[in-house]
Amino acid sequence: MSILEQFSLEGKTAWITGASYGIGFAIAKAYSQAGAKIVFNDINQDLVDKGLASYKEEGIDAKGYVCDVTDEAAVNELVKKIEAEVGSIDILVNNAGIIKRIPMHEMSAEQFRQVIDVDLNAPFIVSKAVIPSMMKNGHGKIINICSMMSELGRETVSAYAAAKGGLKMLTRNIASEYGEYNIQCNGIGPGYIATPQTAPLREIQPDGSRHPFDQFIIAKTPAARWGSTDDLMGPAVFLASDASNFVNGHVLYVDGGILAYIGKQP
Ligand code: NAP
Ligand code: GCO
C-alpha cells in the first residue's frame, strides 16, 4: 500500500455524532474528501436539515438522522438503521458535546450530570453500540473528541473537565480491551477552536476590545491564534485511516502548542 493509499478512506463508512456544524462538520468534510461515506446525527430535525443543506453545499451526499446520543435505545435503533440503509460503520467519531460554564459551588448536581451524560456517558453508549459489528468485521476506528480539559482544569468547567478527563481514560480502555480485534480507539484533543461552543469566550467587548479570555488564549498559544476547524481535518483523517493502524489509546492534541507552553509574559 502506498503512503497516500494509507491515508485513503475509500470504501469506508464514517459516523460523526453531533456533526451538523462545528468541529464534527469539518471532520466529516475531511472524511468525505478522503473517500468515506458520511453519516451524522444531531439532536433535532431542524439541525439535521441545516446540516444536510450544509453538506449539500459542499457536494457531500451525507445521511443525517435525528438521535440524542444519551438515549441508548435510540442509539441502538439508529445503528441498526445505518447498517441497513448505508452499511457497517467502519469509523466512529464521538464528537457531540456540551459545556456548562458555571462555578462548581453554584452548579447543581443535575447540571453536572447533564454534561457527564453527553460528554462521557454518550461516547460509552455509542461506542458500545458499534463495537460488536467492528469485532465481526475485523476492523474499526473509534475517535473520541477530548479537550485541553482532558489534561487541565480551569474555573467554571468542573463538569466538562471531569467528563473529558474520563473520556481520555475511556479512550485508553477501549484501546486496551478491543485492540486484539484490530479496533483502534484514539482521541483528538483540540485546543481552543473558533466554533459556536467557544463564541462566548471571543465576544468583542462593549468598548470594542477583545474578550479577556480571547487575549488570554492568544498569550497561552505559541501559534498566537485560535484554532480553526480546518486545523483538525488532517489529524482526524490520520486517526481514521490505515496510516494509524498501530496507534492505539493515544490522545493527539491539536492545540497549537498550548500544553507545551507556560504562556507569553504579560
Ligand atoms: P458545538 O459547536 O457546540 O457543536 C456540538 C454539536 O453536538 C452540536 O451540533 C450539538 O447540537 C450536538 N449535540 C449536543 N448534545 C447532543 C446530543 N445529546 N445528541 C446529539 N447531538 C448533540 O461544539 P464544537 O465546538 O463543534 O465541539 C465539538 C466537540 O469538540 C465537543 O465534544 C467539544 O467538547 C469538543 N471540543 C471543542 C473545542 C472548541 O474549542 N470548540 C475544543 C476541544 C474540544 P446542539 O446545537 O443542539 O447543541
Ligand atoms: C472553555 C472552553 C474549552 C474548549 C475546549 C478546549 O470554556 O474552557 O470551552 O473547554 O471548549 O474544550 O480544549
Q: What is the pLDDT of residues 56-88, one digit of tens each?
A: 999 999 999 999 999 999 999 999 999 999 999
5 CA from centroid of ligand 1 (Å): 31
Sign of CA dihedral 129, 132, 137, 139: positive
Q: Give the pLDDT of the chain (266 residues) as one tens digit per residue.
A: 899 999 999 999 999 999 999 999 999 999 999 999 999 999 999 999 999 999 999 999 999 999 999 999 999 999 999 999 999 999 999 999 999 999 999 999 999 999 999 999 999 999 999 999 999 999 999 999 999 999 999 999 999 999 999 999 999 999 999 999 999 999 999 999 999 999 999 999 999 999 999 999 999 999 999 999 999 999 999 999 999 999 999 999 999 999 999 999 98
174 CA from centroid of ligand 2 (Å): 24
Task: Map grid coordinates 441502538 to a residue.
Answer: 76
Per the annotation, the verdict on 65 as an active-site residue is no
- Any bridge partners for residue 253, and if so which? 189
Q: Is ligand 1 within 6 A of the CB of residue 64?
A: no
Instruction: Give burial (CB, 10 Å; 0-12/13-18/19+) of 61.
Output: exposed
Dist CA 102 CA 4 (whole Å)? 45
Question: Which has the closest alpha carbon to 228: 196, 257, 192, 263?
Answer: 192
Would you state the cell numbers that stand for residue 109, as one nine-digit string? Answer: 448536581
160 CA from centroid of ligand 2 (Å): 8
Q: Is ligand 1 within 6 A of the CB of residue 198?
A: yes
Sign of CA dihedral 14, 19, 24, 28: positive
Q: Exactly one of 31, 55, 160, 178 is catalytic; which is it? A: 160
Q: Is ligand 1 within 6 A of the CB of residue 45?
A: no
Q: Whose CA is nearest to atom 1 of ligand 1?
A: 197
Would you state the cell numbers that stand for residue 150, as one nine-digit string? Answer: 482532558
98 CA from centroid of ligand 1 (Å): 5
Closest ligand, as measured to the CA of 43:
1
Q: How many CA atoms lie within 13 A of 225 on its CB side?
A: 6
